[in-house]
Amino acid sequence: MSCPACLSANTEIIHEATGLPTNSCLLVDDIDIALSYPWGEMALSVCLDCGFVYNGAWDGSSQYDSSYEETQTHSATFRAFATDLAQDWVDRFDLAGKSVLEIGCGSAGEFLQMMVDAGAGRVTGIDPALKIDRIDRPDASQFEWLARPYDAGYGSIEHDAVVCRHTLEHIGPVHEFMTEVRRGIGNRTDVAVLFELPDVARVLQDAAFEDVYFEHCSYFSAGSLARLFRRTGFRVTGLRRAYDDQYLLIEAYPAELGAVTGPTLDLEADLDATIIDSRRYQQRLDDVSAHWAARLGEVTARGGKNVIWGGGSKAVAFLTTLGLAGEVSAAVDINPVKQGRYLAGTGHRVIAPKELVDLEPDLVVAMNSIYVPEIRADLDRLGVGAELEGL
């Protein structure tokens, strides 16, 4: 298929896979339903003209509703990052007392709440997975919650800022989506447009296959992201990496119609590197997969137990990519909403950290290395002496 970002036909496939659950963040109460969950395909492709990476086999069948649970703020590490980012954006973009629209606000709108706590005024959160009954604020009149997708039916955007965090990577037709956001803003060129999403450079360079799964149909480098924004009518003013270089943060304003959208930034000069890394991804993936298969197999062979820490998308991608079943005893997650449920596609039970005391694992694999210090502290508090390694 043509590139969904620049519409070029100059693309090539860099990795193919089958047997991917079409959802990996669902709350599945029944193991049989988890094991029989619908499967999708991956045809990971790179555009040789703009550097955008995408799943050419994506069919839009991922499910986003009240059974979707992506909340990460139970982690002190993630919560501190998000809180600081909310304050930073409110301060630098003069949003104190101003209105904010968040597209893809998540199941409980935590970041919008952080922005209000940082000084923002009236805010609107829109997300098909929104669970409004989980939100309890004494200042509820400042919030508007819409449990539906953002699309052309939303109409004009009347807010002072548009925020979108970890949503664009779930959108297939990204050019169409960003064009719609720009159309909704209209002729107001002072609206801050603030996006956060994963950086594909790390995924390609480190073969971080735990971040390659069906819901993630769109993968951006700094350059391909900035090029998409300019192509769809935005003036990019800021572009940086954050969260141990796992995330991209892009800051922009609508450009005047027909106007030059501004100079490129240093971080954008990555097209050649993205193509090279894309073509090396499969070999790197083979090497990393072999390492983890051997590591877990070694523990199992001596009668030990492996568990993974993280009961969301990374866990499902890790397990399905490696084809793991009995080699992993359980998935641990600190989010109580996930505990007692089962991972879609693999059927692994999600347990609370305290259950590790009785399980007595030999190896704990953290699905994100940034949480290793936090996890180690939890294991030490519980008296669990397992080895701990991070992806």
What CATH number does residue 346 fall under? 3.40.50.720
Least confident of 254-263, 280-289, 354-363: 254-263
Helix axes 313-322, 271-301, angle to 10 degrees: 70
Tokens 């047997």 belong to 19
Strands of 234-242's sheet, edge to edge?
143-146, 123-126, 100-103, 161-165, 192-198, 247-254, 234-242
Residue 378 in any domain: the answer is yes
Residue 274 in any domain: the answer is no
Task: Say what the pLDDT of residue 259 is.
Answer: 63
Task: Say what the pLDDT of residue 86 is.
Answer: 98
Look up residue 15 and give its DSSP letter.
E
Question: Are the CB atoms for 105 and 113 separated by under 8 Å?
Answer: no
Read off the pLDDT band of 256 (50, 70, 90): confident
Residue 365 in any domain: the answer is yes
Task: Say what the pLDDT of residue 234 is.
Answer: 95
Average pLDDT over residues 340-346: 95
Read off the pLDDT band of 67 (50, 70, 90): confident
Task: Say what the pLDDT of residue 111 is.
Answer: 97
Task: Say what the pLDDT of residue 12 is.
Answer: 98
Residue 343 in any domain: the answer is yes
Mean pLDDT taken over the chain: 95
Average pLDDT over residues 330-359: 97
Task: Say what the pLDDT of residue 260 is.
Answer: 57
* Rounded Cα gap, residues 62 and 83, in angstroms: 29
340: containing domain: 298-390
Task: Say what the pLDDT of residue 65 is.
Answer: 79
Asked if pLDDT for residue 258 goes beyond 80, the answer is no
The amino acid at residue 238 is G
Of 92, 101, 85, residue with least CA distance to 188: 101
Asked if pLDDT for residue 315 goes beyond 90, the answer is yes
Residue 346 in any domain: the answer is yes
Q: Is beta strand 143-146 parallel, antiparallel or unpaired with respect to 306-309?
A: unpaired
Asked if pLDDT for residue 263 goes beyond 90, the answer is no
Task: Say what the pLDDT of residue 1 is.
Answer: 79
Residue 285 in any domain: the answer is no
Average pLDDT over residues 272-288: 98
* Rounded Cα gap, residues 174 and 231, in angstroms: 11
Asked if pLDDT for residue 308 goes beyond 80, the answer is yes
Read off the pLDDT band of 114 (50, 70, 90): very high
Tokens 């969904």 belong to 4
Asked if pLDDT for residue 341 goes beyond 90, the answer is yes
Tell me, rounded to whole angstroms, the distance of Cα 28 from its chain centroid: 20
Task: Say what the pLDDT of residue 251 is.
Answer: 98
Read off the pLDDT band of 380 (50, 70, 90): very high
Residue 116 in any domain: the answer is no
**CA torsion sign, 87 to 93 to 96 to 100?**
negative
Least confident of 18-27, 218-227, 332-341, 365-374: 18-27
Task: Say what the pLDDT of residue 66 is.
Answer: 75
Question: Are the CB atoms for 5 and 52 separated by under 8 Å?
Answer: yes
Residue 302 in any domain: the answer is yes
Asked if pLDDT for residue 261 goes beyond 90, the answer is no
Q: How many domains does the chain have?
A: 1
Average pLDDT over residues 268-294: 97
Of 204, 178, 191, residue with least CA distance to 272: 204
Read off the pLDDT band of 267 (50, 70, 90): very high
Asked if pLDDT for residue 74 goes beyond 70, the answer is yes
pTM (2 decimals)? 0.96
Which residues, in sequence order, are CB contacts of 351 under 8 Å at separation 6+?
A: 330, 331, 332, 333, 339, 340, 359
Average pLDDT over residues 108-116: 97
The amino acid at residue 294 is A
Average pLDDT over residues 177-192: 96
Average pLDDT over residues 261-287: 93
3-state helix, strand, coil in the chain (%, to 5): 35, 25, 40
Task: Say what the pLDDT of residue 63 is.
Answer: 83
Asked if pLDDT for residue 268 goes beyond 80, the answer is yes
221-257 exposure pattern, b = at least 16 Cβ within 10 A, e = fewer:
bbbbbbbbbbbbbbbbeebeeebeebbbbbbbbbbee
The amino acid at residue 104 is G
Average pLDDT over residues 202-210: 98
* Rounded Cα gap, residues 390 and 367, in angstroms: 6
* Rounded Cα gap, residues 116 and 317, in angstroms: 34
